[in-house]
Amino acid sequence: MPKFEMPENGYPAAVARQLIDDERRLDSNPALNLASFVTTWMEPEAEEIMRESFNVNAVDVMQYPSCTEIHNRCVSILADLFHAEGRNESAMGTATIGSSEAIMLAGLSMKFKWKKRMQALGKDTSKPNLVMGYHVQVCWEKFCRYWEVEARFVDVESDPYTLDADKALALVDENTIGIAAILGSTY
């Protein structure tokens, strides 16, 4: 059975499923992975909703308007939770497939807002930086590398393993687009 090309004839569904199951069997058990930021368990009702949504094209708002309505409610709930500007029905945000995509979009938003602010002041926009602890998700470093932003790291203190606000603020200057903080650490 070829691994890297389409077979001449298809496989029975049970055989294809068994091949995938066998391949994944050697992976770690997500429930035992304490360094993971992914959901390792959820209520069966949530899993049912996900299964029932596999064939829904959520970006086709004309065919699936409920997706937009549910999305907007989730954005409003998060805006309220974080005391953001423009709460309730005026909250703005976007859904992403995962945290890496969310980080890239958040970083770009910070960079664009910083650049616009600096241009209005007639200042140089060639040296943006982002302050973060060494314990952030690796995607923050990727964001900096991909989008030409200097990464400024703060050593993480033990007991508790958190970002020290004073040390982070010491690295902030007019070229700082933001401070990346996380709500959990695997240290």
Summarize the confidence of residues 9-17 as an average pLDDT: 90
Confidence at residue 38, expressed as pLDDT on a 0 to 100 scale: 65
Summarize the confidence of residues 89-108 as an average pLDDT: 88
Summarize the confidence of residues 96-116 as an average pLDDT: 92
Summarize the confidence of residues 51-80 as an average pLDDT: 91
Per-residue pLDDT tens over the stretch 33-47: 666 666 667 899 999
150-154 vs 129-133, strand pairing mode: parallel
**Cα–Cα distance for residue pair 156/164, rounded to 1 Å:** 7
This model's pTM is above 0.75: no
